[in-house]
């Protein structure tokens, strides 16, 4: 079976300079390429006029082409499946590519990595036309894959789109390399059991990521320590607000901002922290949470983080209601008072993360492809 994937250009670049969504596309592409019975073509369009170039990469073919050549690329390959992602298909090129693939008889599978309408409501800026393209994607695909049941329900309500039986829920995966570095509780990084917290939160600095809630909780908690925010600043007004809040924490608490870090640097941050928290107001499935779990962190997350569906509250992590800074403060105090119990929760979280390795996730995608092709034949 031939599968064409519409991907970002980072698929063909070293894997250390991507944000979570691009990393997810890259890793799924590579995992699908080694599934028995699949022939994979990764497609990336560019606006600069010209022809097309192609390379063989890790078991699949990568083609970069001027948009005017997209139809020819598809006709030459004749895919049974076109796989797109919200990061690559929420635009005119993505919708046109899907329509072309449909005319050639391919089935269209679209994976949701974010939801434009809801992210915009929580302060994350998107281009106005993205709302129209998102609606076309979710209505026009033969199967939409959501990374969480939370994301599926949220999309249905926000876009007034009824749930379809054909749509599926498959979590995003994690690369094996995240398990190759031990955990924050390894002998090299073991923390003192004194009540000091080194908290890390990974994600773009933007209102929907809820960094202000974490700062509020940190101020209320009777603990000492620091928070390190890892991620690029997308909203400078929000960033200024966070810095203002950080200035009122007291002498025993500090806040640091790293900006964007490579994957290797992020792993180092996670190894040298003893608490991971992401208190998003809306997040379909942030890969950063699963990556933290792989390094032995029992995450503190809100119910509006899709990964919360995989976390057993009080057993492999901590789940709080959206915006509940008091609950987060209590958890921080609990962790400081009983770090060994926190470490045990992290061990369980790491075991859960192993079940999300990309080869396992790719097999679930392959099963969807086979079912769609079988139903059409």
User: Most distant CA pair in the chain: distance in Å?
Assistant: 68
Could you state, in order of their start, the residue ranges of all structural domains in the chain?
2-173+357-375, 176-355
User: pLDDT tens for residues 295-336?
Assistant: 999 999 999 999 999 999 999 999 999 999 999 999 999 999
Cα(355)–Cα(350) distance, rounded to whole angstroms? 9
Q: How many CB atoms lie within 10 A of CB 339?
A: 20
Closest CA to 171 of 145, 143, 203: 145
Element (H, E) at 254: strand 253-259
Regions of the chain short of the pLDDT cut 50: 186-191
Structure tokens that stand for 66 in this block: 């001027």
DSSP notation for 134-164: HHHHHHHSSEEEESSHHHHHHHHHHTT----
Structure tokens that stand for 164 in this block: 């379809």
Number of H helices, E strands in the chain: 14, 14
**pLDDT recorded at residue 16:** 67
3-class DSSP state for residue 278? Answer: strand
Cα(30)–Cα(4) distance, rounded to whole angstroms? 12
Cα(158)–Cα(143) distance, rounded to whole angstroms? 18
Is the Cβ–Cβ distance between 41 and 77 less than 8 Å? yes
Q: Which fold has domain 176-355?
A: Rossmann fold (3.40.50)
**Measured on CA atoms in the order 1, 63, 114, 261, is the torsion positive or negative?**
positive
Q: Which residues pair with 196 in a beta bridge?
A: 224
Closest CA to 361 of 177, 193, 147, 216: 147
Cα(93)–Cα(99) distance, rounded to whole angstroms? 10
Is the Cβ–Cβ distance between 67 and 93 less than 8 Å? yes
Classify domain 2-173+357-375 by CATH architecture. Answer: 3-Layer(aba) Sandwich (3.40)
Closest CA to 235 of 125, 103, 128: 125
Element (H, E) at 283: none
CATH topology identical between 2-173+357-375 and 176-355: yes
Cα(200)–Cα(191) distance, rounded to whole angstroms? 14
For tokens 């970002």, name the residue: 8
User: pLDDT tens for residues 178-193?
Assistant: 999 888 874 444 445 5
**pLDDT recorded at residue 67:** 78
Q: Is 182 left (phi over 0), alpha (psi -120 to 50) or beta?
A: left
Q: Which residues pair with 5 in a beta bridge?
A: 42, 83
Structure tokens that stand for 193 in this block: 């059991």
3-class DSSP state for residue 202? Answer: strand
Q: Which residues pair with 259 in a beta bridge?
A: 230
């Amino acid at each position: 079976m031939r599968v064409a994937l519409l991907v970002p250009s980072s698929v063909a670049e070293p894997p250390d300079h991507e944000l979570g969504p691009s990393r997810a596309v890259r890793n799924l592409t590579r995992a699908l390429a080694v599934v028995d019975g699949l022939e994979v073509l990764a497609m990336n369009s560019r606006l600069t006029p010209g022809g097309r170039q192609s390379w063989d990469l890790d078991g699949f073919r990568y083609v970069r082409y001027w948009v005017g050549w997209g139809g020819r690329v598809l006709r030459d390959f004749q895919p049974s499946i076109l796989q797109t992602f919200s990061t690559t298909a929420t635009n005119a090129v993505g919708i046109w590519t899907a329509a072309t693939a449909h005319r050639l008889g391919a089935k269209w599978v679209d994976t949701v990595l974010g939801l434009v309408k809801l992210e915009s409501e929580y302060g994350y800026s998107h281009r106005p036309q993205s709302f129209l393209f998102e609606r076309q994607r979710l209505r026009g695909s033969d199967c939409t894959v959501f990374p969480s049941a939370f994301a599926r329900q949220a999309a249905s309500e926000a876009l007034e789109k009824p749930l379809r039986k054909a749509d599926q829920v498959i979590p995003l995966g994690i690369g094996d390399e995240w398990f190759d570095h031990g955990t924050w509780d390894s002998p090299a990084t073991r923390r003192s059991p004194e009540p000091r917290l080194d908290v890390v939160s990974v994600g773009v600095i933007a209102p929907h990521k809820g960094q202000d809630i974490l700062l509020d909780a940190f101020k209320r908690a009777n603990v000492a320590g620091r928070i390190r925010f890892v991620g690029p600043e997308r909203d400078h007004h929000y960033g200024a607000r966070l810095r203002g809040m950080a200035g009122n924490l007291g002498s025993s608490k500090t806040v640091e901002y790293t900006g964007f870090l490579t994957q290797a640097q992020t792993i180092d941050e996670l190894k040298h922290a003893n608490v991971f928290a992401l208190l998003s107001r809306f997040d379909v499935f942030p890969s950063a949470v699963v990556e933290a779990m792989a390094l032995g962190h029992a995450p503190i997350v809100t119910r509006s983080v899709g990964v919360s569906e995989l976390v057993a509250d009080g057993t492999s992590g901590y789940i709080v209601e959206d915006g509940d800074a008091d609950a987060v403060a209590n958890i921080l105090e609990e962790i400081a008072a009983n770090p060994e119990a926190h470490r045990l929760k992290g061990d369980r979280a790491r075991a859960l993360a192993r079940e999300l390795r990309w080869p396992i996730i790719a097999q679930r995608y392959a099963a969807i492809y086979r079912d769609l092709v079988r139903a059409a034949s």
